[in-house]
Amino acid sequence: MQTGLAGKVVVVTAATANIGRGIALAFAAEGARVVINGRDPVAGELVAKLAREQGAADVLWRPADMTVEDEVAGMVADTLAAFGQIDVLVNNVGGNVAVTPFASSTPQQWRADLELNLMTTFRCTHLVLPGMLERGSGRIINIGSTAGFIGDRYLAVYSAAKGAVHAFTRVLALELGETGITVNAIAPYGTRSDDPYSDMSSGSRLHPEHGVFARARAEDPERMLAIGRKTALPRNHARPPEIGAAAVYLASEAAAFVTGHTLQVDGGVSLV
């Protein structure tokens, strides 16, 4: 498939591990100019190196915390200074603050979940959009979750936030429909590498020591077992390159007539 992505400037937030890394490397393989964002400098430099090896036309590793407005603005400004424009924005920041029944959760946890999963998408999109509107072209891809459709037990606010990401995707696509900008989302399920430790970052929720899932497993193993779902396929998790392939499609010329859609890459989890 001719994607038309060679030389395009693609910003991938939270690109240092798992889904974000898979997306960044998929665009690199298309010859795009890839901006890799994250907070872990060691993981970031590694992904930048791998992106160059995959064939990226250029790579910018730009650390920034997407929950801090000034840092997001700085990353966008540095990207524009380096490359002149942003053609594709992938809002991948997300995760879980805690794994707990809603009844025992706290307002502080709610705010943190909403900030991480929803406000980061609003913030980065709002800063990148003016340049896309000026040029009359662009692709915005938001990473949602199957949790936003069917809900994940013990992750009520996370599920609500991802549902909001899906709704935001539809409304923004409608608002921007006549501008030449498309807005779509991807809803993965349970994504991890077959060797998850090979693409770990210090802030990953899958981190074996610091990650939220590791903490939850230590506190209540039964609760973690209750979260998992079966898919309709032989394996029960997606792989990062599969999410990357979906993102490449939605950003490509082949998807020029696709907007307001949330593509589920979930192994048919909602069927069983």
Q: Which amino acid is at 140?
A: I
The string of DSSP codes covering 163-232 is HHHHHHHHHHHHHTTTTTEEEEEEEE-S---SSGGGG--TT-TT-TTTSHHHHHHHH-HHHHHHH----S
Are 35 and 9 a contacting pair, CB within 8 Å? yes
Residues 6+ apart with CB under 8 A from 196: 18, 206
Q: Which amino acid is at 73?
A: A
Helix axes 156-175, 107-114, angle to 10 degrees: 30
Tokens of 154: 């013990």
Cα 202 off chain centre by: 17
Are 200 and 248 a contacting pair, CB within 8 Å? no
Residues 6+ apart with CB under 8 A from 102: 156, 157
Q: Which of 158, 189, 197, 249 is catalytic?
A: 158
What's the DSSP call for residue 141? Answer: E
Beta strands 88-91 and 58-63 are: unpaired
The reply to whether 154 belongs to the active site is no
Task: Show which residues are catalytic.
Answer: 158
